[in-house]
Amino acid sequence: MNGVVAVTTNGALLLIAIGAVLLLLAGLARVAARTAFSPIPLYLLAGLVIGSFAPTGLDATTVEIGTQVAVILLLFMLGLEYVVDDVVGSLRSGLPAGLADLVLNFPPGFIVGLLMGLDVLHAAVLGGVTYISSSSIVAKVLDDLGRLGNREVPGMLSILVLEDLAMAPYLPLMAALLAGGGLLAGLGWAAGAAGMTFVALALARRHGPMLSRRLAHPKSEVVLLSVMGLLLMAGGVAELGHVSGGVVAFLVGLSVSGSIAERARELLAPLRDLFAALFFVSFGFLIDETAIPGVLGLAVVLWVVTGATKLATGWVAVRATSGVAGRLRAGTALVARGEFSIVIASLAVSATTDRRLAPLAAVYVLLTAVTAPLLTRYADPVARRLRRSPAGAPGGAGAPRPAAGGSREP
């Protein structure tokens, strides 16, 4: 009897703790909404603070499943924002800029990792963290600033799509190697994942309308259960094949179009926000806060260097369609790192004995996620100053055409 009472008491205390955490996150989300910033840095900080003085009391399997669901929902909702034909077009037209993105933004993390004394594998993990921008933060910043219709946006989206697709081979390769598998086995899984991605793209392009019709139903309950069931099954099958369930969810999102896409956004957005908040908080639990002072300088160096390289990436990606202002807006928005960077770092947390990797990734994501919205918000005033300078004077190499209206300037 005493054992039953103890279990009941522990369960009640756990419910109280989870409720308190959710209320705290709600308050942080209010602050983020009021300031027009992404809540991701606040969630990471909350996890860091809570984890520093309070044990979670959660089963590791429960946390892992919740994390997988969060990533699947995040990337499915991201896929809904794209049109599959645009993604295929991005693979063709945006490949040169995508390669420049990889060459500019992977080496800084990789080199810093080697300088820290990490082995090549864990340095490659840090390279992945610095490589990929946060699609969710970029999309939120563009929406908040009313820039989704700007001329630079298609070029930016091509970079984001190529980065997300690059995760298809990268994540299974890293997961296999971190788990102790051989290089050939890891390359095999990566090649298989890349192949599955292109097959899924082809299927989405051909059979996406049919899938949308199958999922459609007048009752929201049916749509919600159908979409969630499909996502979790597809993610589970993908994980069995050592393919990221999140990438597969992204491809499922690409396949859904029309009115059902709008219904899915409306129904799943609250679930995505809930699981995403818990995902970022749970990563904060894993961070050894005592290691943060030792990695703060490295995080700042990475932030400065990769801020410049992402600016260069955006400049290259949209130079054919945009002037100085558009190039600055694109480059500054791409500075933000977020969900995928945390996913990549979390792969290595349990596999590395170096306790600096997770804190470095977290502080780096915090810096970029906080500063990117500020940088892109003030890109237009900087561009106007450049145009008034001799180098940006009319007729100069960097001079844009006259603006048609405000932020729609090319």
Mean pLDDT across the stretch 308-335? Answer: 91
User: pLDDT band at 405, cuts 50/70/90?
Assistant: very low
Residue 1: per-residue pLDDT: 54
How far is 357 from 379, CA to CA, in rounded Å? Answer: 32
Residue 35 belongs to a domain:
no
For residue 337, CA distances in Å to 249, 280, 346, 370 come to 20, 13, 14, 10
Highest mean pLDDT (candidates 99-113, 159-173, 234-248) = 99-113
Residue 270 within any structural domain of the chain? yes
pTM of this structure: 0.75
How far is it, in rounded angstroms, from Cα 196 to Cα 198? 6
| 119 found inside a domain | yes
Residue 373 resides in a domain: yes
Report in angstroms the alpha-carbon separations of 214 from 139, 202, 219, 271, 410. Answer: 28, 18, 13, 22, 41
Report yes or no on 203 lying in a domain: yes
| Residue numbers of the domain that contains 141 | 60-379
**pLDDT band at residue 305 under the 50/70/90 scheme:** very high
CA–CA–CA angle 191, 349, 297 (5° rounding): 110
267 vs 1, more confident:
267
pLDDT-derived band of residue 323, with 50, 70 and 90 as boundaries? confident
Instruction: Judge whether 151 lies within some domain.
Output: yes
CB 45 within 8 A of CB 280: no
Confirm whether 254 is domain-assigned: yes
pLDDT confidence bin for 192, thresholds 50/70/90 = confident
Write the CATH number for 328.
1.20.1530.20
In a domain, 291, yes or no: yes
């945009």: which residue's tokens?
322
Structurally, the chain folds into a number of domains equal to 1
Radius of gyration of the chain (CA): 22
